[in-house]
Structure formats: C-alpha cells, structure tokens
Amino acid sequence: MKQTFILFAMLMIAISLPAQNLIEKYKQGTVKLIPDAEYANGNNWDKVFETFNDTLYGRHMGFRKNIRLMPDGSAVVDHPYRNFYTKFSPDGKFEKEFNIVNSNGEPFKKIQQISGIINNNTFFTGLDNMGNMTFFDFDGNYVKTLKLDYMSKGEIALPNNKIAVVGWVLWTEKIREFVALVDFDTNEQKIIWEHFTDRSCEPGTECNLFNYSYHFKEQGAISFNTMPYSKSTGMSASPIIANSGDNLIVVIPSTGEIIKYDLEGNKIGKSKVPWNNNYISVDEQKKIQRQAIAKYKSLKNPIFADWVSPEENQLALKSIIQDMENDLDKITDPIPIPAISTIIKDSDENLLFFEYPKKENTNTFNVWVMKNGGEFICQSSFVSDEYNLQINPSKMVFRDGMIYSLQTLNNAKGVPLRLVRFKLE
C-alpha cells in the first residue's frame, strides 16, 4: 500500500509539472529536429510531389512550394506553374488535389501560391501580375478578389480581418517600397511605412556585380548570382513583416530596425537588433568569385537550356565566364550583409529572427519575445540529421510546439521532397 501511494504521488507530481516550453529548448543552444515517423507515413512521394521535377527555361522550379496549415491541422501545399493544390489530412496522409473554381464550377486558368488564411475559413493568394489577390474557401470555391495597384513581396493575415502587404512600385527615377494594411471587407488600404531607393542600378553599372545572365537567340534566358547577397537588384533588402499577438512587426533587414505597430497600423515603438551587421570583405568576395569561375570552367558540356543547341549553351558558358572574370577587378568595396534574412513565428507567439548566413547551411536565430515592449532572450539554431533544412516561413510552420515542414530528405531515392512533422529536442 505504501509503495502504491508513493507511485501515485510521483505520478501526480509528474502530471502537475509543466511541459518544457519552446524557450527552454531554445536556451539549450541547438535544437534538434526529430521527424515524427507516424506523420505522413505511407504517402507515395514520387506521385504526390511529382511536380518537384518541374523546370522552367532549364531552371529547377519544383521546390517553389509553400505549406499552409488549416485550423483542423490539415496541410495544403501549392504547386506554382501548375494549376492545383494538394491537401493532406491532420495526420499527413494525402487526401486530394484541388483547384479554385468559380460559381459555375469552372477552374481558374492560373493560380498563385497560398499566402495565408483569414477568418479561419478562407485562403488567400499572393498577388498576380495584375495586382489581384484571390480568396477561396477550403474546398477551392471562389469567394472574392481584392485589387491592388502594385506588386508584392509578401503578405500575412492579421487577427482583425486585415492583411499586411509588403508592396513595391517602379517609378521613373525611384523604387518605392512600403507596407500596407488591406481591409478584407472593403479593400481599403493604409500605408504605414515606406522607403524610396534611387533606380541607379542599370545594366553595366557596378550594382550588377555578381549578377549574370544570358539571353538565348531562340527564346528564354538564364540568370544567377555568384554572391549570396549583393546590390545587384538596385533595391535594399525589403522589409519583413510578422504578427505577434495584437502587434504587427515591421523589420528592416539592412538596418536591423524593428518597428512595432498595433493592428490598425498605429506606431507604438521602435528598437533595433542587438547584433551588428556583417560584411563580405573584398578578399572574401574575390575568393567566392574565383571559385565560381573555376566551377563554370570545369563544365565540359554545359546544359543551361535543353531547348537550344549545344553550341549555344557553349556560347552562354563562354560569355558568362568572360563577364565573371571581368568583374574581378571591379571588386573594391566590402558588401554589407542584412542583419536579418527571415522571421518565423513559433506556436508560443515568439518570433525567431534568423541572421543572414555568411556561409551556406547556417541558421542561427535569435528569439524575440513580445513582452515589456519586446526583447531578445537567447540565441539558437536548428539541426537535422536526416533532412537538408531550408529555413523559410513558407517551408516551416509551428503548431502545438512542433514544426510542420516541406524539406528534402538526404539520400532519398526518387523525389526527395517530403511533408514532415518535426519534434523539437
């Protein structure tokens, strides 16, 4: 009887102890992502994610997918350049493919990626090239369209029936970047932040260092950068937006500024990240450039585009190498690296500020908690033994202390893309 009582008491104590929260895990310094073997078990990934093999003008496009979680825990993945979405059950099992259909049951000819969910019952997409933001229910039935007169670099839903949008417009001599609040019911918009940049990065200027392209005689083009970050676009690193509780956070990556607004767009505070911006030195830039040149010189039979002749692929290679070699002497100044690359919100409303990686496959993040005006409390990183992690809010979504994610499995046979649920240890 005494042993039974002791065991009962120990059990009650264990039940009463709170589970380790996410912050305590972050404070360990490194968080290991452990895949849940039961989640999404049994899916035929070669079939479900067949579009992973998609290319456009010779460039791989199949990983350009986004994951969104529905209120019941179901997951929806969009397939850009295709005309459908894929739905998975709360336990990760493939359920169906679906499209947006109008009132007559006719499918839309062109779909965009899903940006988020509003009112817990309606999906909305990113802007198309005509400024349309489309809304549809969880069965793919069209609901409405909001019309914006600019282009977008990101959208998030807010709890008050509004959508925050990072917009941009090309003016004659300037580029205007801004953050707008768009009302779902009325389409009314309010600009809460804006910034202007001179359009000084024209072809042939130093702003185009490390940015290479080749236009084929038949059709299409290729383009790429040899540097992880440069001034090649002529634009500053665009603002990043995030929602934490009743606050909208606008972060300026180039300066590390954190601007806090309420959900109506009223500014309530401003701070700055506590770490300094990094730089890529002149020597580091030249080393990266020489490595890129060596890589392309090693190509014997390049296939930049499979729709043009081998001779034109060789001409593209020769042109690109020549441009890269010419740029070596133009590398004279350090390149400032943005303070933040992306932000992911966890399921405890903490914001994870990821530093811009100076080297590939690094994902140091700083945990910011919205309390007492907002503060950083620790630094951590994610690691995985089985997956090649891509750190991005469109690839990683928190729910109930776990991460639902689209990642590529190391050493996979066939299509490597997986829908995976990670436990944090």
- For residues 169 and 30, membership in a common domain is answered with yes
Together in a domain, 324 and 417: no
Note whether 186 and 208 are same-domain residues.
no
pLDDT tens across 27-50, in order? 999 999 999 999 999 999 999 999
Together in a domain, 349 and 273: yes
- Helices and strands counted in the chain (H then E): 5, 32
Counting residues of the chain whose pLDDT is more than 70, the rounded percentage is 88
Calculate the alpha carbon distances from 370 to 20, 272, 351, 403 in Å.
19, 14, 8, 21
Higher-pLDDT residue of 321 and 213 is 321
Q: What is the pLDDT of residues 206-241, one digit of tens each?
A: 556 788 888 888 777 887 888 866 554 333 468 999
- pLDDT given for residue 15 in this prediction: 36
Is residue 337 scored above 90 in pLDDT? no
In whole angstroms, give the CA distance from residue 280 to residue 286. Answer: 10
- Length of the chain in residues, anyone? 425
Q: What is the average per-residue pLDDT within 131-135?
A: 93
Residue with tokens 């918009």: 189
Quote the mean pLDDT of the chain: 86
Distance CA 78, CA 86 (A): 6
Enclosing domain of residue 70: 19-199+234-281+334-424
- 382-383/31-35 β-pairing: parallel
Residue 20: the pLDDT is 57
Establish if 13 belongs to a structural domain: no
Residue 3 predicted with pLDDT over 50: no
212, 273: one domain: no
Lowest mean pLDDT among 53-67, 75-89, 103-117, 392-406: 53-67
| Residue 125 resides in a domain | yes
Looking at the domain assignment, is residue 12 inside a domain?
no
Whether residue 167 is found in the same domain as residue 245: yes
Looking at residue 57, its pLDDT comes to 62
Res 246: pLDDT: 93
Residue 11, pLDDT > 70, answer: no
Fill in the amino acid letter for 141. Answer: N
- Last residue in a domain, options 333, 352, 376: 333
* pLDDT per residue as tens digits for the range 70-92: 999 999 999 987 889 999 999 99
Domain shared by 156 and 27, yes or no: yes
- Is 254 domain-assigned? yes
250 and 107 within one domain: yes
Q: Return the pLDDT at 226.
A: 85
Quote the pLDDT of residue 205.
Answer: 47
Number of C-beta neighbours around residue 40 at 10 A: 22
Give, for 250, the enclosing helix (H) or strand (E). Answer: strand 247-252
Do residues 122 and 180 both lie within one domain? yes
Q: Please, which pLDDT band fits residue 358 given cuts at 50, 70 and 90?
A: low
Kindly tell me the sign of the dihedral angle through the C-alpha atoms of 81, 155, 114, 231: positive
Do 74 and 67 touch, CB atoms closer than 8 A?
no
Q: Is the pLDDT of residue 200 over 70?
A: no
Residues 75 and 126 sit within 8 Å (Cβ to Cβ):
no
Q: Are 222 and 251 members of one domain?
A: no
> What share of the chain has pLDDT > 90, as a percent?
60
Show which of 333, 368, 399 is a domain's final residue.
333
Give the three-class secondary structure for 307: coil
Residues 240 and 325 placed together within one structural domain of the fold: no
pLDDT score recorded for residue 6: 41
Angle of helix 310-327 versus helix 282-297 axis, rounded to 10? 160
pLDDT of residue 275: 86
pLDDT for 156-194, tens place per residue?
A: 999 999 999 999 998 888 889 999 999 999 999 999 999
Interacting residues of 295 by C-beta distance below 8 A, sequence separation 6+: none
Same-domain status, 329 and 287: yes
Tell me which of 333, 357, 373 is where a domain ends: 333
- 171 is a domain residue: yes
Rounded Cα distance between 266 and 268, Å, is 6
Residues near 283 by Cβ (< 8 Å), separated by ≥ 6? none
State pLDDT tens for residues 302-314: 877 778 888 888 8
* Domain assignment of residue 10, yes or no: no
Contact 394, 407 (CB under 8 A): no
CATH of the domain at 27: 2.120.10.30
Number of structural domains the chain divides into = 2
145 is a domain residue: yes
Does residue 14 sit within a domain? no
